[in-house]
Chain A
Amino acid sequence: MTKSLKHFLLRSALITISLTGLVPSALATSPKESQDLVAVAATQAFDAGDLPKATQLYEQLVGQGIVNGHLFYNLGVSYYKTGRLGDSVAAFLGARRYLPRDPDNQANLHFVMSKIQDKLEAQIPAGTSGHVATGLAVFSQLELAWMAALLAAIWGAAFTIVSAKPSLNRWQLKIGLAVILPILGLAAFLTKQATPDAWAAINSPEAKVYSGPGSHNTQLFALHEGSPVLITERAAGGYFRVKLSDGKQGWIADNQVILFGPL
């Protein structure tokens, strides 16, 4: 089935849905096909200028557990155009987790960040030990996982070759290990890095940040809509521990922060 034909069929199905007023879940289609229909509907609504509807449909897909950088990106554009700055920043930050090198997302994130009130960045300045981690930020979670798996496979192959050669002398073995062990170490490191930073954004006009998880703690400072925060911990009682690009840390109520993608 060609792409255009598939597109045509999806559009036709969407028209049918619109005419009948049925929700996709009620159709006798697979969940994936239903989701594709909703995605097409959302994009059409956006193109038609019906931004609230497009936003609602994109949100519906997110609500179904879809984690997709392009979905978050489109939702970010829709949010911004409907005046929801904080949600827009969060959506673009979420898209960055899965499309770290996408130039459109980088440009739009930069654009919406210029509109926020607080002077914050959406990344923690790299320390002396953080340069490698910062460098790896250009890879998505999936890419890092694949790199780690392939490195482990390379290590296994190299280890097999070294083991199968009993004629290797001590120096050859040492050199072999010197090559193999860093590969294994890098694989382990990549596995650790494969959990991307959970950058979220404030989605209320003002959010109070406390010294502990709860409003009974000392209020440290306040953030405003759109401010990017790195979620580092979740506490019982609906509070996130957050870190800012300027080094400040604190606890914030989870209903004032929006995060796209898993924590």
Chain B
Amino acid sequence: MQSKSLTVRLNRILLLGALAGVATPSLAGTISAELDHQEGAVGEPFVLTVMIDGARDGRPEIPAVEGLEMQQQGASESTSWVNGQRSAQLQLGIVIVASKAGTYTIPSIKAKVDGQEVATLPLTIKVLAGVDQAQSPAAKTAPKAGAAGKGQAPQQAKDAAEGVFLERTCDNLEPYVGEQVLCTIQLYHRGNLSGGQRLMPSSPDFRRFPIEGEKPTKKLVNGQPYIVIELKEVVVPTKAGALVLPPFTIDARILTWSKRQNPLNKLFDRFGGNGFNFDMNVTEEHEVTLKSTAADFAVKPLPAAGKPANFSGLVGSFHLETKLSQAKVSAGNTITITITISGIGIADALPEIVPDLDKIGKIYPDKPEYTEKAGEARGIMSKRVYKYALVPAHPGDYDLGKVEVPVFNPQLQQYTTLSSELGHLIVDPSKAEAQQLVVGQQPLVPGTKKQDVKVLGSDLIEIHHDHSLTSQQTITRNTKLVLVLVASSTPSLAFAFLGWDFVRRRSKKDVIGRRRSQAYKLFKSALQSIQVQLAAGHVEPALLATYVALRTYLGNKLNLRGQTLAAREIADVLRRLGSKESDLQRLIQIITVLEQVDFSGRLPSLPAASELVADLDHLILGLESV
């Protein structure tokens, strides 16, 4: 037992040793390092890529250099077996940011690969003083107009080091107060962005409206492929002057990859199998706040020249529409006036546009409706609807005039006045007024106030003279009686019919039942006299009586009536009832013979007739059991 376990243990050791021997590479490993560029500005990230080819022993050590901040950004590792030989590759990405200008040398990076010490050549980078936007990835696509950095460059450099950064461009940095400006935000990342959320810091100087949706594209920045997510926002300056639009900010979740030592490595090391060692890739997510640069705006005030007196601050390109619910109305009734202003721009602060209709009647405003829709093509499209209930007081034909709304159009750079005619309204006399006209009283003229009507109740329609005042209009006892009679007439008839039908069907059923029960008795009675006739040698009357007896039986028993009912039809009915086929064939033969006797007088012999009657008796007995 003990020798067996020892043998097993030795075998395992030998196997591991053999595997280790096979795994030992015969070729020497290599290490190389390269920079994405060798000259840049302070704060600009340099990307150093280190590649190790072969079975390495641990990670290469990256030497520290004073003035350079180095941070590993990612690593990729691959292992393959070719012709029984193991091949391993490791690629490390290191972001280097210089804090001050100068020429830096990155010393050799050493590693132990395939059992040998290998090293890279020293590398040199030249860092220029100041932010050279032309060289930074963030600056390569920097805003074309006026989005100069406001202390955001270090932040952007840091973001770029993460492989994620933001840019914003605005299509007009010199808008008028209230004019909408479309800004495009580009979020660059290298596949390491797992999510994010827009933050829209409020500003007293700008109103900001996000536009839903995002458009992903790809771009090369300094030879590096980036995924670019394009976002849009509309900003509207609220006052004139030099204003700073706060940075566009996103709380982003960034993925980083790192290596952790495999706990099994120690086990492999114990058996000298360090060639099996590998590290585990670990993905970690952390949140960063990405910010674009702030943008400088020179906001122009609305021109004083040509500004209408009743200008209310509406800026954009709008359309005005008015509508009356009806063109004709009776005095005292209500019509609805709808005023709709819609177009490109923001009309949420537009005050009430109350038509001057006091001379016609009372006007009651409804709560204005407001909707707005943000789109990439036109920015903010808004619509404001005012509804007013007008109750004309007096009859007449009125010109309701027009509604005017002054607007500043930034495209045309001038004020325009939107105008829409309300049209004509014909107000008919009210019913009470019409009644007055009929009885010859003076109609109320437009402008007359209600208080001028002295006589109390003069607007009331007079009493009814031509109607009976004493007939009962409620449901009296007699009315109830008539109603009940009418309501119950046909239902009573229906129920009476149903009762009669029920009795009729039941009695019919009784008669049929009685006939059925007595069918065989009657047949046997007839058969006795038939047999007497046969005994006397009277074949024809005996068979004719047999035919009648059979038909009577079938009529009583199965309700099969009619002389024209053929033998096969009778057989079909009996077949459905479950009679034997042999019996049915014999019955058909008997009926055929009896029909021949009845119709053609063709008589069988006496013995055949006796046999036929006997068979029929047997068959009928069989039917009784069915």
Chain A residues in the interface with B (C-beta under 8 A): 32, 35-36, 39, 42-43, 46, 58, 61, 66-71, 73-74, 77-78, 80-81, 83, 98, 103-104, 107-108, 111-112, 140-142, 145-146, 148-150, 152-157, 159-160, 163-164, 187, 194, 261-262
Residue of B nearest to A81 (CB): B457
User: Among A111, A145, A156, A187, which residue has its beta carbon within 8 angstroms of that of B475?
Assistant: A145
* B467 adjacent to chain A (CB < 8 Å): yes
Is there contact, CB below 8 Å, between B472 and A160?
Answer: no
Most buried by B among A32, A61, A74, A150: A74
Chain B residues in the interface with A (C-beta under 8 A): 431-432, 456-457, 459-465, 467-475, 479, 483-484, 486-494, 497-498, 501
- A-B pairs, top 3 by smallest CB distance, nearest first, are A156-B490, A156-B491, A152-B487
Question: How many Å lie between the Cα of A66 and that of B488 in the bound state?
Answer: 29
Is there contact, CB below 8 Å, between B470 and A35?
Answer: yes
Is there contact, CB below 8 Å, between B473 and A156?
Answer: no
| Contact sample, A vs B, 13 pairs, CB 8 Å cutoff | A36-B470, A42-B469, A67-B472, A77-B462, A107-B432, A108-B460, A149-B486, A156-B494, A157-B494, A160-B490, A163-B494, A163-B497, A164-B501
Is there contact, CB below 8 Å, between B472 and A66?
Answer: yes
Residues on B with C-beta less than 8 A from A194 are 475
A31 to chain B, nearest CB (A): 9
Is there contact, CB below 8 Å, between A71 and B493?
Answer: no
A225 to chain B, nearest CB (A): 15
B411 to chain A, nearest CB (A): 49
Is there contact, CB below 8 Å, between B456 and A68?
Answer: no
Question: How many Å lie between the Cα of A244 and that of B456 in the bound state?
Answer: 28
Residues on A with C-beta less than 8 A from B470 are 32, 35-36, 39, 61, 66, 68, 71
Residues on A with C-beta less than 8 A from B493 are 156-157, 160
18 new A-B contacts at CB < 8 Å, known A35-B470, A77-B457, A152-B486: A36-B470, A39-B469, A42-B469, A43-B465, A43-B469, A61-B469, A68-B469, A68-B472, A74-B469, A77-B460, A77-B463, A81-B457, A107-B431, A141-B475, A149-B487, A155-B490, A156-B494, A160-B497
Question: How many Å lie between the Cα of A98 and that of B471 in the bound state?
Answer: 12
B471 to chain A, nearest CB (A): 6
Residues on A with C-beta less than 8 A from B483 are 145-146, 148-149
B554 to chain A, nearest CB (A): 25
Residues on B with C-beta less than 8 A from A142 are 473-475, 479
A20 to chain B, nearest CB (A): 22
Question: How many Å lie between the Cα of A262 and that of B475 in the bound state?
Answer: 11
Is there contact, CB below 8 Å, between A163 and B498?
Answer: yes
Question: How many Å lie between the Cα of A139 and that of B483 in the bound state?
Answer: 17
Residue of A nearest to B458 (CB): A81
Residues on A with C-beta less than 8 A from B464 are 70, 73-74, 104
Question: How many Å lie between the Cα of A14 and that of B491 in the bound state?
Answer: 49
A183 to chain B, nearest CB (A): 11
Question: How many Å lie between the Cα of A61 and that of B470 in the bound state?
Answer: 8
Report whether over half of chain A's contact residues are helix, strand or loop; otherwise say mixed: helix
Question: How many Å lie between the Cα of A98 and that of B469 in the bound state?
Answer: 12
Question: How many Å lie between the Cα of A154 and that of B471 in the bound state?
Answer: 29
Residues on A with C-beta less than 8 A from B490 are 152-157, 159-160
Residues on B with C-beta less than 8 A from A155 are 490-491
Task: Contacts A36-B470, A61-B470, A68-B471 given; indicate if A111 touches B460 (C-beta within 8 A).
Answer: yes
Residue of A nearest to B482 (CB): A149
A141 to chain B, nearest CB (A): 6
Residue of A nearest to B493 (CB): A160
Question: How many Å lie between the Cα of A183 and that of B472 in the bound state?
Answer: 29
Is there contact, CB below 8 Å, between B475 and A152?
Answer: no
Is there contact, CB below 8 Å, between A66 and B469?
Answer: yes
Residues on B with C-beta less than 8 A from A148 are 483, 487
B500 to chain A, nearest CB (A): 10
Most buried by A among B461, B470, B475: B470
User: Among A69, A149, A157, which residue has its beta carbon within 8 angstroms of that of B473?
Assistant: A69
User: Among B463, B469, B471, B474, which residue has its beta carbon within 8 angstroms of that of A141?
Assistant: B474
Residues on A with C-beta less than 8 A from B471 are 68
Question: How many Å lie between the Cα of A156 and that of B488 in the bound state?
Answer: 8
B515 to chain A, nearest CB (A): 21
Is there contact, CB below 8 Å, between A68 and B468?
Answer: yes
Residues on A with C-beta less than 8 A from B456 are 80-81, 83
Question: How many Å lie between the Cα of A78 and that of B456 in the bound state?
Answer: 11
Most buried by A among B431, B473, B497: B473
A153 to chain B, nearest CB (A): 5
Is there contact, CB below 8 Å, between B491 and A261?
Answer: no
Residue of A nearest to B465 (CB): A43
Residues on B with C-beta less than 8 A from A104 are 461, 464
Question: How many Å lie between the Cα of A219 and that of B459 in the bound state?
Answer: 36
Residues on A with C-beta less than 8 A from B479 are 142, 145
Is there contact, CB below 8 Å, between B460 and A262?
Answer: no
Is there contact, CB below 8 Å, between B457 and A163?
Answer: no
Question: How many Å lie between the Cα of A88 and that of B460 in the bound state?
Answer: 11
User: Among A70, A108, A187, which residue has its beta carbon within 8 angstroms of that of B461?
Assistant: A108
Residues on B with C-beta less than 8 A from A39 are 468-470
Is there contact, CB below 8 Å, between B468 and A70?
Answer: yes
Is there contact, CB below 8 Å, between B474 and A70?
Answer: no
Question: How many Å lie between the Cα of A228 and that of B421 in the bound state?
Answer: 42
B459 to chain A, nearest CB (A): 6
Residue of B nearest to A160 (CB): B494
Residues on B with C-beta less than 8 A from A187 are 487
A48 to chain B, nearest CB (A): 12
Residues on B with C-beta less than 8 A from A67 are 472-474
Residue of A nearest to B489 (CB): A153
Is there contact, CB below 8 Å, between A163 and B473?
Answer: no
Task: Contacts A104-B464, A153-B490 given; indicate if A111 touches B474 (C-beta within 8 A).
Answer: no
Question: How many Å lie between the Cα of A3 and that of B140 in the bound state?
Answer: 106
A77 to chain B, nearest CB (A): 5
Question: How many Å lie between the Cα of A67 and that of B475 in the bound state?
Answer: 10
Residue of A nearest to B430 (CB): A107
Residue of B nearest to A155 (CB): B491
Residue of B nearest to A78 (CB): B463
Residue of B nearest to A159 (CB): B494
Question: How many Å lie between the Cα of A70 and that of B483 in the bound state?
Answer: 23
Residues on B with C-beta less than 8 A from A141 are 474-475
Is there contact, CB below 8 Å, between A153 and B497?
Answer: no
Question: How many Å lie between the Cα of A169 and that of B464 in the bound state?
Answer: 57
Question: How many Å lie between the Cα of A250 and that of B304 in the bound state?
Answer: 62
Is there contact, CB below 8 Å, between A80 and B486?
Answer: no
Residue of A nearest to B463 (CB): A74
Residues on B with C-beta less than 8 A from A43 are 463, 465, 469
Most buried by A among B456, B463, B479: B463
A6 to chain B, nearest CB (A): 11
